[in-house]
Amino acid sequence: FQQKRKNLWKVQPHFRKDQISVGIMGLGSIGREVAAAMAADGWNVNGWARTHKEIDQITTYAGNEELENFLRQTNIAISLLPLTLATEGILDLDLFKKLKSPAWLINVGRGEQLVEEDLVYALDTGLLDGAVLDVFEKEPLPDHHPFWNRTGIVITPHVAALTEPEELAVELLENYKRMTSDIPLKNRVDRSREY
C-alpha cells in the first residue's frame, strides 16, 4: 500500500503463518475467541493474562513474571486487555523491545494502554514494523494527530468489535430476569479486579 503511493516496485519479505507467532494479551471471553479462531486458521498462538488459563492449542502465560517470556515468543502482539491501573501504559517502549522481530502491534483493547510517543519511536527505530490501532486515548482521534499521516500505522475508528443491539437486548433481559428472581447477574464487574 505504501509502495503504491510512491510508485515503488520492491519485493518485501513475506512470512508464512507457521513462521509468525501471534500473542493475545488478555484471555477473557473476546481474547479466548480470537485466540481459538487464529489457532484454527493455522497461526502459532500464545496468550497472556493476569491469571493462568488453559486453552486448547494455545501456549499460555500469566502474570508479570511470565510477560517477558510471552513477548519474546510473539511477533504480532494483539492487545485485548481491560483498562486497569496495571494495564494503563502497558504498551510502551519496554514492551516493544521484547517482541520477537519482525514485530507488529494491534491495539483493540483501550487507548490509554498505549504510550503514543513510544510507539512513534519504536516505528522510527525499527523496533516495530507496523501497528494497527482501533482505540485511542482521545476519541475521535483529533484531525491534527500525528498518527493520521504516519507511515506504518493503520487507523480504524473503534470498530473492531461492534455490539449488536439484538444481542445486547437478550443479555439485558436475561440479567433483568435474574435480578428480579434474586439470581446472580451475568458478566458482573469485579471491582477488586477493575473489570
The reply to whether omega before 82 is within 30° of 0 (cis) is: no
Q: Report helix, strand or coil for 153.
A: strand
From residue 172, how far is each of 86, 165, 175, 179, 182 by CA, in Å?
A: 29, 10, 5, 10, 15
Q: How far is CA 121 from CA 6, 41, 86, 93, 135, in A?
A: 23, 32, 23, 8, 19
Catalytic residue among 158, 178, 188, 193: 158
How far out from the chain centre does Cα 106 lie?
Answer: 5
CA-closest candidate to residue 44, choices 33, 29, 58, 32: 58
Catalytic residue among 16, 110, 144, 191: 110
- Contact in structure between 171 and 187 (CB atoms under 8 Å): yes
- Residue 110 a catalytic site member: yes
Annotated catalytic residues are 110, 158
